[in-house]
Amino acid sequence: MAVLSIAVGAKQLTLVEVWHGLTSPTSPEHAVVQQMRLPRTLLGLLAGAALGVAGALMQALTRNPLADPGLLGINAGASAAVATSTALLGVATVRGWIWFALLGAVVVTVAVHAVGGGRQATPQRLALAGAALNAVLYSYVSAVMLLDAAALDRLRFWTVGSLVNADFTTVATVAPFILAGLLVGLAGARPLNALALGDDAARALGARPTLIRAGTVTAVTLLCGAATAACGPIVFVGLLVPHLVRALTGPDLRWLLPYAAVLAPVLLLGADVLGRVLGRPGELQVGLVTAVLGGPLFLRLVARR
């Protein structure tokens, strides 16, 4: 029931959003809603769910409440790969970007794990390695943008995280990856619950840590790669939503993951709508809004602990 009510909440937000989009008479209005608002909303739902669930999975996997696909450099990896493909190969569509984004996400996931100590990886070392790679990769993305005017043009909104590129092609391109990632992630809820008790305890319960890790990393890569290819790096959603949800559900991932999948899109669409209202007559990119709102919120969470 709670899930349902939140889902309805999301719908209402989209209604508000649709309503804000209506500035012209009936028929063009229809076109605006059909061609722009609807795919944009769908993409927001998909990307939001992807980021929220990916964040919750990362936090469970690393047993680190600060873990987040953003902090661990996965989104940065996807971004760097997309920027490279745009500047060097002239790729300009989501259909092309998604493969590079997935590749970038995989490479950085492996790299962070290797730099973070491989088998002896601790949550702290992973976070440090991720933060370092994050910084390097984003400087790289900025450098590519500054050196290549055409790439800058194509990726200007994308680099801060935006739903502005949304059309049905984008939605159709990323939807299978995100849905697959969500399925794999949700299937991992119970095993991850066991893994949360420590590797030995998980094995004693009959769970298989290596298999669980591999599955979870696959899910996170799919979710982050697809979300980043479509919207660029949107920060704080993956970090913040699991914290908010945990306050409601406790640490049980069988509840936490579905709630995150529902609440994160609400937050993302909310931020997107806010960005459009605040930024009139243009708009503020949703990635900027989540950063501006998420930063202080997160500081509050940290201070409360």
Distance CA 273, CA 282 (A): 12
The stretch near other proteins (CB under 8 A) out of 104-112, 127-135, 201-209, 218-226 is 201-209
Which DSSP category does 205 fall into?
A: T
When binding is defined by CB under 8 A, the residue of 198, 277, 279, 295 that contacts other proteins is 198
Q: Does 124 bind other proteins (CB under 8 A)?
A: no
Stretch that binds other proteins, among 20-28, 96-104, 188-196, 224-232 (CB under 8 A): 188-196
Q: Residue 26 or residue 120: which is nearer to other proteins going by CB?
A: 120
Does 204 bind other proteins (CB under 8 A)? Our answer is yes
Q: Where are the alpha helices (DSSP H) in the chain?
A: 2-21, 26-31, 38-62, 74-89, 94-115, 123-147, 149-155, 168-187, 189-195, 199-204, 209-231, 237-249, 253-278, 286-304
> Residues in contact with other proteins, total (CB under 8 A)?
22
Residue 201 engages other proteins in binding (rule: CB under 8 A): yes
From candidates 32, 33, 36, 63, binder to other proteins by CB under 8 A: 63
190 binds other proteins (CB under 8 A): yes
What sign for the dihedral angle of Cα 249, 254, 257, 263? Answer: negative
Q: Which two tokens stand for residue 254?
A: 């069988």
Residue 73, sorted as left (phi over 0), alpha (psi -120 to 50) or beta, turns out to be left
List the x/- string, 67-106, binding to other proteins by CB under 8 A: ----------------------------------------
Which 3 state secondary structure label does DSSP give 91?
coil
Binding footprint of other proteins on the chain (CB under 8 A): 63, 65, 187, 190, 193-194, 196-201, 203-208, 246, 250-252
